């Protein structure tokens, strides 16, 4: 790493000084396992092109700068099992993001055919067979709680793995970094190009690259709005200039943010803008899997040559800096766990490759728990990484997570598709009629949550002698029940008058609404009948 300012270094100290005497033994141990001689033939050609810092840079006490220029990260291409997993997650998440709005779901003539749709105008949320109404927002709250618990679960098991693989910022950064490599070439070519003066070739490359950035960003913003309207119609309207202004504004904003955050801010988002790394530290413990550099095995570092000259003096790390070169956030994991590490494990892939090349066992950098690190450093046997995933804490998280999910599914299954809310008039609370009877008026909201019109019967229950009529019929037609047709997927507001004979006292009673179809779903709401003399 060139230009690494000590003041920017991680807060985690290299744990070398204090532990040297213990670990030298372990280092010997580590050596003992790898009997093969270190071969200089496998010295990585890339490695020689990297400028190394002296192993122990002299610590200067520079005056603290107030603000620091960003050091651009040029991360190197790498292949390996974690990289392949990252490709897989990237493919799946992007596919979900871009394809979901295009899935159709037949809901009949009265409801949209889009499988996943946030219908803000009509305040409905459709998700395959599920339809959420505004008053059922607790389902969304439940999903958010599940998402949070899911993050806790993942974090307590494998640290910041969400960040490393599935976080949108990571996925898009990764995508943009692939674009970088595609247009500008790999790390060294990119560094050369960055340093080169702006000529026609560089200009052309930059233009090409930023165009690709923009296309991806536009696609990202464009896909987002598809969730809020019928996707095929929206695409047509969008290009015909007929879509809602909000659609264009959203696309522009999301294009710009994707362009900036994915194309330029990248690791700055993960390190400085995102609150999650600050929170996650509270959720990890000594049993969580973290990407760890096993310094007891790697230190002291030395090149392959040095190690050959002084057998037994050096650890397994040959200071080739491959782990730094591949890191998407540009950190040196050998400085210990740090906030900038998103647990993407690309450094593991890189180092494993180096270890394979120089003929030493893999895993100098590896997913390990703090507990296992201590054990390994002391030469004790370690446990399987699965133990980190299946342990009481993660199981507890999982059980809570799962029971919320089951509870929500259950609630979804048994919920009624009719609803009734009643608000009695309070001004005035009652009306005395000329024949001495008393009238109260109410605003009823009949909710039909099915995608077809339904006839519903409204009845007054528990108010002796009471009759009701609504604003569409006269008092002459007052009866104990009234029938209304509620349009598909809608709430029908009905003003209802209830009249009770003279002498009725102030009391509670029920409105009941029942669907007049095979389901006979009903909902009951209690309300109050006020009369003169009734205490208020």
Partner 1 sequence: MANKRIDEPTGTETVGHEWDGIEELDTPMPRWWLWTLYATIVWGVIYVILYPAWPLINKATEGVLGWSSRGELAEEMSVVDQARTTVREELARIPIERLPENSELFGQAVAGGRSAFQVHCSQCHGSGAAGSQTLGYPNLNDDDWLWGGDLKAIEYTLVNGIRAPGVNDTRMSVMPPFEGAFDADQLTAVTNHVLSLSGKAPSTASGAQLYQDNCSVCHGPAGEGNRELGAPRLNDAIWLYGSSPEQLRAQILNPKMGRMPHWSGRLDPVTIKMLSAYVWSLGGGEEFVEVAEDPAVEVDEEP
End-to-end CA distance of the chain: 79
Smallest separation (angstroms) from ligand SF4 to the CB of 25? 20
Smallest separation (angstroms) from partner 1 to the CB of 6? 5
Per-residue binding string, ligand SF4, 303-322, x by CB under 6 A, is --------------xxxxxx
On whether the CB atoms of residues 258 and 221 are closer than 8 A, the answer is yes
Strand partners, 457: 483, 514
Three-state secondary-structure class, residue 455? strand
Which region, judged by CB under 8 A, interacts with partner 1, from 1-9, 159-167, 274-282, 308-316? 1-9
Residue 434 binds which of partner 1, ligand SF4, none (CB < 5-8 A, kind-dependent) = partner 1
Number of Cβ atoms within 10 Å of the Cβ of 436: 9
Is 61 one of the binding residues for partner 1 (CB under 8 A)?
yes
Strand 365-369 to 289-293 pairing: antiparallel
Is the Cα dihedral 33, 39, 42, 47 positive or negative? positive
DSSP result, 171-182: HHHHHHHHHHHH
Residue 428 binds which of ligand SF4, partner 1, none (CB < 5-8 A, kind-dependent) = partner 1
Is 347 one of the binding residues for ligand SF4 (CB under 6 A)?
yes
The two three-digit tokens of residue 121, written as one number:
């105008």
For partner 1, which residue of 100, 382, 421, 441 counts as binding (CB under 8 A)?
Answer: 441
Cis ω for the linkage preceding 428 (within 30 of 0)? yes
Which region, judged by CB under 8 A, interacts with partner 1, from 60-68, 107-115, 144-152, 173-181? 60-68
Q: Of 275, 284, 282, 267, which is closest to residue 344 (Cα–Cα)?
A: 267
Nearer to partner 1, 7 or 524 (CB): 7
Cis ω for the linkage preceding 459 (within 30 of 0)? no
Per-residue binding string, partner 1, 458-497, x by CB under 8 A, is -------------xx-xxx--------------------x
Per-residue binding string, ligand SF4, 268-297, x by CB under 6 A, is -----------------------x-x----
The contacts found for 423-430 with CB under 8 angstroms, 24 or more apart, are 424/527, 424/528, 424/530, 429/530, 429/536, 430/529, 430/530, 430/531, 430/532, 430/534
Q: What is the DSSP letter of 404?
A: H
The two three-digit tokens of residue 400, written as one number:
């809570």
Smallest separation (angstroms) from partner 1 to the CB of 501? 12
Smallest separation (angstroms) from ligand SF4 to the CB of 306? 13
Three-state secondary-structure class, residue 129? coil
Residue 10 binds which of partner 1, ligand SF4, none (CB < 5-8 A, kind-dependent) = partner 1
Q: Can you give the binding site for ligand SF4, defined by CB under 6 A? A: 291, 293, 298, 317-323, 326-329, 331, 333-334, 341-347, 350-351, 354, 364-365
Q: Can you give the binding site for partner 1, defined by CB under 8 A? A: 6-11, 13-14, 59-61, 64-70, 265, 268, 272, 425-428, 431-436, 439, 441, 471-472, 474-476, 497, 502
């Amino acid at each position: 790493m060139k230009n690494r300012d000590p003041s920017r270094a991680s807060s985690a100290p290299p744990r070398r000084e204090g532990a040297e005497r213990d670990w030298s033994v372990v280092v010997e141990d580590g050596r003992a396992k790898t009997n093969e001689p270190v071969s200089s033939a496998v010295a990585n050609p890339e490695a020689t092109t990297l400028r190394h810092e002296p192993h122990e840079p002299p610590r200067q006490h520079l005056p603290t700068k107030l603000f620091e220029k960003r050091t651009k990260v040029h991360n190197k291409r790498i292949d390996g099992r974690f990289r392949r997993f990252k490709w897989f997650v990237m493919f799946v998440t992007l596919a979900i993001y871009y394809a979901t709005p295009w899935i159709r779901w037949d809901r009949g003539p009265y409801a949209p055919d889009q499988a996943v749709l946030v219908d803000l105008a009509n305040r409905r949320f459709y998700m395959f067979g599920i339809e959420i109404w505004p008053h059922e927002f607790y389902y969304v709250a439940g999903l958010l709680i599940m998402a949070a618990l899911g993050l806790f679960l993942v974090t307590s098991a494998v640290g910041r793995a969400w960040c490393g693989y599935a976080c949108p910022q990571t996925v898009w950064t990764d995508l943009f970094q692939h674009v970088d490599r595609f247009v500008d070439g790999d790390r060294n070519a990119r560094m050369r190009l960055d340093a080169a003066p702006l000529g026609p070739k560089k200009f052309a490359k930059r233009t090409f690259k930023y165009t690709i950035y923009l296309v991806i960003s536009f696609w990202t913003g464009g896909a987002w709005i598809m969730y809020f309207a019928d996707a095929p119609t929206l695409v047509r309207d969008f290009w015909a200039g007929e879509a809602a202004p909000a659609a264009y504004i959203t696309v522009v904003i999301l294009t710009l943010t994707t362009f900036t955050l994915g194309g330029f801010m990248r690791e700055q988002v993960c390190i400085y803008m995102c609150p999650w790394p600050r929170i996650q530290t509270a959720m990890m413990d000594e049993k969580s899997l973290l990407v760890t550099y096993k310094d007891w095995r790697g230190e002291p570092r030395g090149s392959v040559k040095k190690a050959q000259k002084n057998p037994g003096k050096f650890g397994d790390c040959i200071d080739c800096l491959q782990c730094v070169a591949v890191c998407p956030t540009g950190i040196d994991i050998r400085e210990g766990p740090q906030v900038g590490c998103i647990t993407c494990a690309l450094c593991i892939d890189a180092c494993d490759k180096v270890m394979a090349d120089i003929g030493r066992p893999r895993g100098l950098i590896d997913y390990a728990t703090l507990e296992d690190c201590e054990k390994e450093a002391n030469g004790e046997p370690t446990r399987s990484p699965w133990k980190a995933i299946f342990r009481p804490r993660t199981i507890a998280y999982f059980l809570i997570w799962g029971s919320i999910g089951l509870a929500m599914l259950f609630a979804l299954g048994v919920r009624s598709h009719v609803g009734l809310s009643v608000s009695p008039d309070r001004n005035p609370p009652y009306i005395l009629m000329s024949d001495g009877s008393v009238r109260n008026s109410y605003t009823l909201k009949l909710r039909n949550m099915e995608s077809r019109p339904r006839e519903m019967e409204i009845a007054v229950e528990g108010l002796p002698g009471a009759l009701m009529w609504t604003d569409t019929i006269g008092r002459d037609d007052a009866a104990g029940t009234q029938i209304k047709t509620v349009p598909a997927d809608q709430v029908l507001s009905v003003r209802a008058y209830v009249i009770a004979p003279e002498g009725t006292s102030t009391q509670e009673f029920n409105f009941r609404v029942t669907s007049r179809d095979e389901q006979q779903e009903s909902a009951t709401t209690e309300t109050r009948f006020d009369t003169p003399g009734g205490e208020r």
